[in-house]
């Protein structure tokens, strides 16, 4: 099952100090090449991992991406346009380009989303239906309160 990855779970998988590290790491390992990472998310993850964990870990993550451990998606003009539309539609949430690209890609390819940002992904909707979230709030709470 292919799944679009948001920033939070990828950072948590790389950072042992994150509350959701065990959950995130297990999911990232399980999904492997079925994990679809939009390039804006990869940029955000690189910046956060460098700051919170260190440059060596960030370089290791980038090396695994370059070795095709995951499916990185680069923005097409259509995907960029849709991400900009989503960001504008939900301007009051201040989603940003990375979240809006996750949404646009999940919408276009009808894929579930791996995110821990329940606030933004519950407050928004694709053109039809609701976002399919791989992890829900209950699962996240159970995994992070142990």
Q: Which tokens hold the place of 89?
A: 């539609």
Q: What is the pTM of this model?
A: 0.95
Query: What residues are paired with 38 via a beta bridge?
Result: 73
Position 146 pLDDT exceeds 80 = no
Residue 94, pLDDT score: 96
Q: For 88-123, how does the pLDDT look when each residue is reduced to its tens digit (9 = 90+)?
A: 999 999 999 999 999 999 999 999 999 999 999 999
Q: Which of 57, 39, 45, 58 is nearest to 11 (CA)?
A: 45
Do the domain assignments include residue 146? no
Do the domain assignments include residue 16? yes
Quote the domain boundaries for residue 111: 3-140
pLDDT exceeding 70 applies to what percent of the chain? 99
CATH number at residue 77: 3.40.50.1010
Do the domain assignments include residue 111? yes
Give the total number of structural domains in the chain.
1
């Amino acid at each position: 099952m292919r799944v679009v990855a948001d920033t939070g779970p990828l950072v948590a998988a790389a950072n042992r100090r994150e509350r959701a590290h065990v959950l995130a790491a297990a999911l990232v390992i399980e999904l492997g090449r079925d994990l679809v990472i939009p390039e804006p998310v990869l940029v955000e993850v690189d910046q956060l991992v460098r700051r919170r964990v260190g440059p060596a870990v960030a370089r290791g993550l980038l090396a695994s991406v370059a070795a095709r451990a995951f499916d990185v998606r680069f923005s097409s003009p259509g995907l960029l346009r849709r991400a900009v539309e989503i960001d504008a539609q939900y301007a009051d949430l201040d989603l940003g380009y990375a979240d809006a690209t996750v949404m646009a890609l999940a919408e276009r390819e009808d894929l579930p989303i791996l995110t821990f940002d329940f606030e933004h992904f519950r407050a928004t909707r694709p053109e039809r239906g609701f976002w399919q979230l791989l992890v829900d709030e209950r699962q996240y709470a159970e995994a992070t309160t142990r």
